[in-house]
C-alpha cells in the first residue's frame, strides 16, 4: 500500500491505493475488496434498522470489512436527533463487539458525538471524516481521542483561502487520515496538498499515514 484512502464512494481499483469504500447494507457490492459499512443518518428508515443492523453484523465478521460507517449524527436533517442517536449507538455497540474502527459523519453535532463516546466508553478508534471545522473543534475532538480525516474541504482551501490549512497543520501527525469522499480528484492530489501543508515530503507522509493505518486498522 503506497496510499490509503480512508473514505470514498468511488471505487477505482488503483493498484497502489488501499481504498476504504463506503457501503450501505441494502446497496452492497460484493466486488469491493475493502469497505466500511453502516447506516448513514440520511438513510435511516426506522422500519428497516433492525434488518440493516443484522447485515452490518454479518459483514463485520469478514476480513474485508475494515470499519463501521459511515454513521453518526446530523442536526441539519429532519430525522429527530434522538432517533439518530439510537441508531448510532447500536452501530457503536457492534463496533465494540467486533473491534472495528468507526467512520463518523457529523454535522453540527460534535458535542453530542463526544458525549456518546464518553457515555458508552467506546474503546475502538473513532474517525471524523470530511473534517472542515475550526481549530477549537479539532482540538476538542483530538483531546477526546478522535482521529480526523481530511479531503474535499482541504482541497477547497486552496482556492477559498479558508482557515482549514492552519487547522490541518495543527493536527498531530499521528491523528489524521486523508480521503476523497465524493470528489473527482484522486487521493494523490490530496496527499500532495497535505504534504505541502505539513511541510514534509510525500514519502514521509506516506510512511506516517501507513503507521496511522496500522495503529487504527490492524
Would you state the cell numbers that stand for residue 139, as one nine-digit string?
Answer: 482540538
How far are the Cα atoms of 65, 106, 162, 168 from residue 134, in angstroms, in the given order?
Answer: 31, 14, 10, 9
Please tell me the distance from the alpha carbon of residue 114 to that of residue 209, in angstroms, as a whole number. 24
pLDDT in tens, 101-124: 999 999 999 999 999 999 999 999
pLDDT in tens, 161-215: 679 999 999 999 999 999 999 999 999 999 999 999 999 999 999 999 999 999 9
User: Domain 3-217 class?
Assistant: alpha beta
Amino acid at each position: 500500500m503506497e496510499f490509503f484512502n480512508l473514505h470514498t464512494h468511488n471505487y477505482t481499483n488503483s493498484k497502489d491505493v488501499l481504498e476504504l469504500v463506503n457501503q450501505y447494507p441494502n446497496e452492497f457490492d460484493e466486488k469491493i475488496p475493502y469497505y466500511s459499512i453502516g447506516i448513514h443518518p440520511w438513510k435511516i428508515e426506522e422500519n428497516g434498522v433492525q434488518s440493516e443492523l443484522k447485515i452490518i453484523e454479518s459483514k463485520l465478521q469478514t476480513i474485508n470489512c475494515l470499519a463501521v460507517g459511515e454513521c453518526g449524527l446530523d442536526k441539519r436533517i429532519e430525522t429527530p436527533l434522538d432517533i439518530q442517536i439510537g441508531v448510532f449507538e447500536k452501530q457503536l455497540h457492534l463496533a465494540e463487539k467486533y473491534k472495528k474502527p468507526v467512520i463518523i459523519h457529523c454535522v453540527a453535532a460534535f458535542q453530542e458525538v463526544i458525549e456518546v463516546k464518553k457515555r458508552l466508553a467506546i474503546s475502538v478508534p473513532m474517525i471524523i471524516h470530511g473534517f472542515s471545522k475550526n481549530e477549537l473543534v479539532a482540538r476538542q475532538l483530538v483531546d477526546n481521542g478522535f482521529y480526523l480525516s481530511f479531503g474535499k474541504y482541504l482541497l477547497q482551501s486552496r482556492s477559498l483561502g479558508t482557515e482549514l490549512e492552519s487547522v490541518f497543520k495543527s493536527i498531530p501527525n499521528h491523528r489524521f487520515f486523508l480521503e476523497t469522499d465524493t470528489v473527482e480528484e484522486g487521493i494523490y492530489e490530496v496527499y500532495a496538498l497535505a504534504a505541502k501543508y505539513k511541510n514534509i515530503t510525500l514519502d514521509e507522509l506516506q510512511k506516517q499515514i501507513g503507521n496511522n493505518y496500522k495503529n487504527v486498522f490492524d
